Amino acid sequence: MELLLVIIIGLLYAAGIYMMLRRSLVKLIIGLILLGNGANLLIFLLGRIVKGKPPIIDDASYVLAEIYADPVPQALILTAIVISFGLQAFAIILIKRAYKVVKTDDLDEMNATDEDL
């Protein structure tokens, strides 16, 4: 399971970076989404993937002796997902707006900022 996740994370990062390097605005956003998902899965992986091991200490002991599923990374992912959801929604509206104003989907043609104003 871990190995599978590692490969998926690697693929997500690679695909994300690749998509960001394309010229199209839509692919840029897809790249950002993939990259964000890769980061979220990475946090999930580092919180140990175990089945049926909740981090609950039974009455007889004070510390967890066995390997347990760490709840902190899961809380982190929840936060990260919510944040990236908001940011991605904003980014999608932004490219729609950009398409309307600049009338192109090609990043190479967006060079109004380099002109002398």
Partner 1 sequence: MSNPYIILPIISQLFTAILLMFFWTQKNTQKAISVIMSLVTLGISVWLLTIVLKNGIHVTQAGSWEAPFGITFIADPLSSLMVLLTSLAGLAVSIFSVGSVRNARVRFGYFPIFHFLLMGLNGAFLTGDIFNLYVWFEIIIISSFVLITLGGEKAQIEGSIKYVTMNLLASAIFLTAIAILYGLVGSLNMADLSIKVANLENRRLVNVTAILFFVGFGIKSAVFPLHFWLPASYHTPPPAISAIFGGLLTKVGVYALLRVFTLIFVPDEFMINLISWVAGLTILTGCIGALIQNNIRKVFSYLIVGHIGYMIAGLGMFTEAALIGTVFYLIHDIIVKTNLFMVSGLIFKIKGTFSMRNLGGLYKEYPKLSLLMAIPIFSLVGIPPLSGFWAKLFWVESGFAIENFMLVAFIIAGSFLTLFVMAKLWAEVFWKDGDKLPKKINVKYFWELKPLKRTAMVFPIVFLSLISLYIGLGADHVIQLSTIIGKQLMDTTPYIEAVLGPINESQP
Instruction: Select the residue interacting with partner 1 from 20, 26, 30, 69 (CB under 8 A).
Output: 20
Q: Helix %, strand %, coil % for the chain, to 5?
A: 70, 0, 30
Q: Which residue has the tokens 């091991």?
A: 53
Number of amino acids touching partner 1 (CB under 8 A): 39
Instruction: Select the residue interacting with partner 1 from 24, 39, 68, 69 (CB under 8 A).
Output: 39
Residue 107 binds partner 1, judged by CB under 8 A: yes
User: For residues 2 and 49, is the Cβ–Cβ distance under 8 A?
Assistant: yes
Nearer to partner 1, 8 or 45 (CB): 45
- Rounded to the nearest 10 degrees, the angle between the axes of helix 2-20 and helix 25-46 is 160
**CA atoms of 51 and 60, how far apart (whole Å):** 22
Residues that bind partner 1 (CB under 8 A): 16, 20, 25, 28, 32, 35-36, 38-40, 42-43, 45-46, 70, 72-73, 76, 79-80, 83, 86-87, 90-91, 94-95, 97-98, 101-102, 107, 110-114, 116-117
